[in-house]
Amino acid sequence: MELHPLAGKPAPDSILIDVQDLISSYYRAKAAGPVAFGTSGHRGSSFEGTFNEEHVMAIAQSICEYRAWKGITGPLFMGFDTHALSVPAFRTALEVFAANGVETVIHKGDEYTPTPVISFLILEHNRGKSKGLADGVVITPSHNAPKDGGFKYNPPHGGPADVDVTGWIEERANKLIRKGTSAIKRVPYKRARKAGTTHEEDFIGPFVTSLPEIIDMEAIREAGIRIGVDPMGGSGIHFWDPIARSYGLDIQVVNREIDPSFRFMTVDSDGVIRMDCSSPFAMARLISMADSFDIAWGNDPDFDRHGIVCATGLMNPNHYLAVAIWYLLGNRPAWDKQLMIGKTLVSSSIIDRVVSDYHRTLYEVPVGFKWFVQGFIDGTVAFGGEESAGASFLRSDGTVWSTDKDGFSMTLLAAEILAKTGMTPDEIYREVLVPKYGDPYYKRADGPIDDVRKSRLQTLTPDSIQAKNIAGQPVTNIMTTAPGNGAPIGGVKVVLGDGSWFALRPSGTEPKMKVYIESFGGESLWQNIHEEALRLLFGPSD
């Protein structure tokens, strides 16, 4: 894919959204598409009629009915991020929750709330289970463009809802929309805020106070690490000052601006404003400041992703996952040796080699953090990570911290690694991991997808691919289900003789095909694999 002329440059006014028009569309436009939960909730835009008041009303009502069906009687923790559609969606959802008598806990003072904080609060409440099980909602489209809105539901296990839950909510919500929303209970917003079931609490304090249970904050303080943080205008922006004060850390927040147009962003590779902390184009400003800090990082708007910046630039997310696992397995002595290390099957195979070297079990699952949730809950998984820069891990004592991706713990871990080893995560990758495990060339190449291609990918079986060699390498394994849990991957992964591999799957959040390739033969082999893989699956026109 060719780079857009604006890639990595400040966003010009010409591509900024009209915030007021977007919000007006949320209220006036009819639903032009169904409720559809992808890998992380329902997402869409009011400009396209795919995320508006009808959708949110129907989803919220469905959640109320799901809670009643499952006997979930504890509080529902609800948070929202800094996207323009998040505030109106929050108001709509609260109106429905209050009308249905759902005890709803919101962040005091209409403060923004990151995804991992909602997961943390759910789990903290449910430890005692004395007041009924809690669940939660996060209103966010994650790193998506400013025009988008999103709605995620986290059941009592604290993590992303599984397909059986989202399928039920999705089906019920769409039925409500078809009926004209007449079956949806709702009260005016002012009444919802004053309802006896609506409570405000401080979400920052409990989360910040508990951080030493997962990160060695004292080691970071003693090392005097100079830290640069770019919240990218996201929901965790007001957490960093309390963290710095509480633990005496040298943290400089380089951008404190909150603007739903995200006009302060540099443009992503395709010319779109996207708060993707794994993109060097979206992270261009912080990368330019790298020399001012010992370590720096950015997070997406709901703070479930991380981007680690060292003197050499933005780390490849796969490289950091490998380093994080390497470090944690050597520095968390209370973790049971039987605990598995989780990765999505499109993450780097360097992770496989690190895990094998520590004589641990690899738990390889399809794309989607929901696949790690039960392992965290039942004490079989110590770490779960996605190639898209999202991960979480256990507390130092081996108990669960968050069952959703946590951008706070993963970024603070980078500072702990530097404090304890004297090396940045990038230095560890280059000087420790590469000499031992190799230096693969990993890159994802997105492409267009139509219904024919999507159907082809989703109906593949290992027998569908007859090729014995690809790009001069023997085919050693063909997967359409994940080896860790046997779940369908929605596409295919093919492993080659030298450890190189490729995988293709439809995106769960955008209308495109994702092509993942890792080559142990450099960029030239990567290119050959890319050409032959597409031709093998879709014919010579690709």
What's the burial of 458, exposed, middle or buried (CB within 10 Å: 0-12/13-18/19+)? middle
Quick one: three-class SS letters along 245-278? HHHCCEEEECCCCCCCCCCCCEECCCCCCCCCCC
Active site residue 40: no
3-state secondary structure of 71: coil
Which tokens belong to 477? 């394994």
Helix (H) or strand (E) holding 437: helix 434-437
Catalytic residue among 142, 261, 392, 402: 142
Q: How far apart are CA 498 and CA 519, in angstroms?
A: 9
Q: How far apart are CA 73 and CA 433, in angstroms?
A: 48
Backbone angles phi, psi at 331, to 5 degrees: -135, 20
The answer to whether 260 and 83 have CB atoms below 8 angstroms apart is yes
Determine the Cα–Cα distance for residues 434 and 347; give it in Å rounded to an integer: 16
3-class secondary structure, 56: helix
Question: What three-state secondary structure class fits 521?
Answer: coil
Rounded Cα distance between 266 and 249, Å, is 28
Crossing angle of helices 407-421/115-128, nearest 10°?
100
Which of 375, 395, 329 has the alpha carbon at shortest distance from 356? 329
Nearest-angstrom CA–CA distance, 266 and 272: 9
Phi, psi torsion values for 209, nearest 5 degrees: -60, -30
Nearest 5°: the CA angle 494, 496, 501 is 55
Asked whether 346 and 318 are in contact (CB, 8 A), the reply is no
> Exposed (0-12), middle (13-18) or buried (19+): which is 456, by Cβ within 10 Å?
middle
DSSP string, 319-346: HHHHHHHHHHHHH-TTS-TT-EEEEETT
Show the DSSP H helices in 148-295 as ranges: 163-178, 189-194, 204-210, 217-223, 240-247, 284-288
Catalytically active residues, by annotation: 142
